[in-house]
Structure 1
Amino acid sequence: MIFIFSIWILLAGLVVAGRPAQPRWQRTGALALAFLLSLTFLQTMGLFGPNAVAGDTTNYSPALIFALGVMVLAFFSAVLIAQRPPTPPSHVQIGSAVFAAVVGAYLMFVAVDHWWFFRGDDELNGWASPSAMGVKEVDCDFALARIEGDAIAYRCAHLFIFGRAYAHPFVPWPSYTPGTSIELKLKQDELMREAESNARAARSAESGGQP
């Protein structure tokens, strides 16, 4: 919920910064950021992606969100600097710019948080469905997952899962419950062994039982 609320705060800040009474550079910057925000939102909602996403397809939503955060923070920092004397201060503009700058920092943080969780070998990262796998100690239907030795670090998504079809879906902080599960790792290993066994049986059947 904080992620969506922050987007509304950013939109309000852009509306204030883009009013006709503001300097031209400010109106132009607000319009450019509104355009980038629209592209980021559409990408995050999957409207630019194909209907079927390959397992190794890159999810560009975190990169766009990070770039948006950098530009938002830089733009509204410039807006705040422009409010220094002798310019008559506008309390509405100062307040909206401060909140929007905080949103910019937040967007950068959630992108870095995503990359930090999915760090390392891509083969050790992904997502899982603990409830479908019959895992008792992880109570959720969808979780980001990263193998850590004999356990799996997970993040159970609450409300928002952006790019669910990608190998690395985006779940913004704090819309998840983190944890570590040995049982989830054991269940995953069991499913992998079963899949390998079925694959060997299928190959054997195709070859007429020949090794």
Structure 2
Amino acid sequence: MLYILLCSVVLLIVVIGTVARATLALVSPGPGQRLRQMVLVLASYAVGMAYCAPLLYLFFGPDGAPGETLGVDTARLTVYLLLAASVALLLYIPSLWKRAADSKGFWPMGQLTLVALACFVGGKSAYDHLTFFNNDQAGWADVALMKEIGEITDMPGCTSPVAFVRFQSTGPFEYRCPGLIVFNRLSSQPFGPWPHNDNGSSQQLADVILKIKSEAKVADDFSEEPAPL
């Protein structure tokens, strides 16, 4: 998956930068210069951790633990951190561009290319997620189960068992089918990074979901009726 690969790349760049800055700190003549290098090290680690926040939360958070649920605020926080890190990488690109222009080596240009790619993928993924889940009517649906209940043939590119759906009172419903790996999957707002998403709208999915909701409402109304005397 591209996002996971870019997480590894960003963290590798952070580690390489840490070694270089630690070396500069050791040979710096004054305490001010050493302090500056240490601050840059901490800032680079903060950006790297923020960029990989959804992935790190998958391993170290409750996401995936039995019986645990993930709140919407916590789930969105990991995506906001990814967006903030992408903006930080964008601000770092001019410095890398100047370094690549002044150098004839492969690494400066390669680092510039990788950081630019990570910036785009992270920013695009976070923006798409935050704009899709921009109200409380957006959530996810078990597409595999929906297809067992009713006929759904107007989602040809959706091979995932689940889909992110923007629910409405009438169809069609806008949907987004994620790739193999979904982050924050215990939340009502799972995160599927770009570009592994299939977007579209489905009237048949809306028909099945609205039918289930109407039948559930009828069942609730029936259960609330007082028993005859």
TM-score by length of 1: 0.79
Q: Residue 76 of structure 1 contacts residue 97 of structure 1 at CA under 8 Å; is this kept in 2?
A: yes
1:73 aligns with 2:87: no
Using the alignment, how far apart are the partners of 2:59 and 2:97 within structure 1?
32
Using the alignment, how far apart are the partners of 1:103 and 1:178 within structure 2?
22
Shift of 1:163: 1.1
Shift of 1:177: 1.7
SS of aligned partner of 1:126: strand
**Long gaps (5+) in structure 1:** none
Q: Residue 80 of structure 1 contacts residue 98 of structure 1 at CA under 8 Å; is this kept in 2?
A: no
Of 142, 152, 164 in structure 2, the residue corresponding to residue 136 of structure 1 is 152
SS of aligned partner of 2:107: helix
SS of aligned partner of 1:165: coil
Structure with higher helix content: 2
What is the 5 A alignment of 1:46-65? 47=61, 51-53=68-70, 59-60=75-76, 61-65=78-82
Using the alignment, how far apart are the partners of 2:144 and 2:211 within structure 1?
15
Of 166, 173, 185 in structure 2, the residue corresponding to residue 164 of structure 1 is 185
Q: Which runs of 4+ in 1 moved over 4 A?
A: 37-40, 82-85
1:65 to 1:31, Cα distance in 2 relative to 1, 3 A: closer
Of 10, 20, 44 in structure 2, the residue corresponding to residue 30 of structure 1 is 44
Using the alignment, how far apart are the partners of 1:44 and 1:66 within structure 2?
17
Deviations 1:64-84 (A, max 9, x none): 110111122223433443566
TM-score by length of 2: 0.74
Shift of 1:40: 4.7
SS of aligned partner of 2:173: strand
1:154 to 1:9, Cα distance in 2 relative to 1, 3 A: same
Shift of 1:142: 0.3
Question: In the alignment, which residue of structure 1 is the partner of 2:173?
Answer: 152
Cα root mean square deviation, aligned: 2.9
Shift of 1:151: 0.4
The one-letter code matched in structure 2 to 1:42 is L
Using the alignment, how far apart are the partners of 2:113 and 2:82 within structure 1?
19
1:177 to 1:36, Cα distance in 2 relative to 1, 3 A: closer
Using the alignment, how far apart are the partners of 1:35 and 1:131 within structure 2?
34
| Count of aligned pairs | 203
1:36 to 1:157, Cα distance in 2 relative to 1, 3 A: closer
Q: Residue 57 of structure 1 contacts residue 167 of structure 1 at CA under 8 Å; is this kept in 2?
A: no
Per mean C-alpha deviation after superposition, the further-off stretch among 23-32 and 192-201 is 23-32
